[in-house]
Amino acid sequence: MSAGPDQNRSTRAGERTVSTERERIGFIGVGLMGHGMAKNIVEKGYPLTVMGHRNRKPVEDLLGRGAREAKSAREVGEASDIVFLCVTGSREVEGLVRGPDGLAAGLKSGSVIVDCSTSDPNSTLALAAELEPHGITYVDAPLSRTPKEAWEGMLDTMVGASPEVFARLKPVLDAWAGRVIHIGGTGDGHRMKLLNNFIAMGYAALFSEALALAQKVGITPERFDSVIRGGRMDCGFYQTFMKWTLEGDREAHKFTLNNAFKDMRYLESMADAAGLANPMGNAVKNAYAVPVATGKGEDYVPMLSTHVAALNGVELKRKV
């Protein structure tokens, strides 16, 4: 970890003694969600450094808006006070934080890493403990909603941080989130995110099986929808989910089956660590295991309905 005097930062992790300058922000993971988040950060006037991405389009867009590019995680750390991570999961996060070219090697004491990925809370707590002796604070701020809201600066985030660090982060979080909830200490954000995704992915599994059974007994998706939509079982997730089945809109909910399966494995790990039997969680996990195992993992979650129907020998009939 690099060190040196900095008159604008205290040596206590996550705190600042003077706020005469805007925080320097780093961002790694400018994919479907991260691109919009980073766009809003730089447009709100924060100095922004992003790490190169295999998809050059979002990187070039951000550079055109005033961001600068770093070639490694270490370079991002050297240029930043607060670094946001928005990657697939804990394995990727750990690879970015650790090692000679990792974030921790470049960050100064007093810096903060904010993991916006959906990660394993056990990994989150391990990284926080590992970084604390170096004066680096590790917090979690996973996301809810879709890339559309990311672009609009209207994501939801649930933040695990101390009150002092949360107060420091809040202005930057407000740049890309419309709803910022301080859920507790480090690790609680990721715990709550897994619970949130358990409910969401559970809905998707239920909707998929119900649609397949409906079709099997002669009730079309349109007739099914005419009862659910506007009734007590309706919700925003249902409406987004059904855009694929009813309209063929694959862009409505761009969250892959691979990611859903990964999150349900993390939920299982959390339940195991807590000593909780979670038969419902395992059933939901297995609903995603099948399409993932058959090579459909890059399909989006609403397309689970098509896979469940096919397994049962039916096709969900869509009006043309």
pLDDT of residue 53: 77
CATH class of 25-185: alpha beta
Catalytic residues: 193
Domain boundaries, the chain: 25-185, 191-311
- Name which of 8-12, 109-113, 159-163, 240-244 the model is least confident about: 8-12
More confidently predicted of 12 and 85: 85
What pLDDT shows up at residue 222? 97
- CATH 1.10.1040.10 is held by the domain 191-311: yes
pTM (two decimals): 0.87
Whether 35 and 62 have beta carbons less than 8 Å apart is answered as yes
> Contact 189/158 with Cβ under 8 angstroms?
yes
Cβ-contact 186, 161 below 8 angstroms: yes
More confident residue, 111 or 55: 111
Quick one: average pLDDT of 206-218? 97
pLDDT at 146: 87
Name the H helices within the chain: 34-43, 56-64, 73-78, 90-97, 103-106, 121-131, 147-152, 163-176, 188-216, 221-228, 236-247, 257-274, 279-293, 304-311
pLDDT at 9: 41
Return the closest-CA partner of residue 128 out of 183, 189, 59.
Answer: 189
Task: Report which of 47, 48, 90, 50 is spatially closest to residue 73, judged by C-alpha positions.
Answer: 50
What pLDDT sits at residue 318? 75
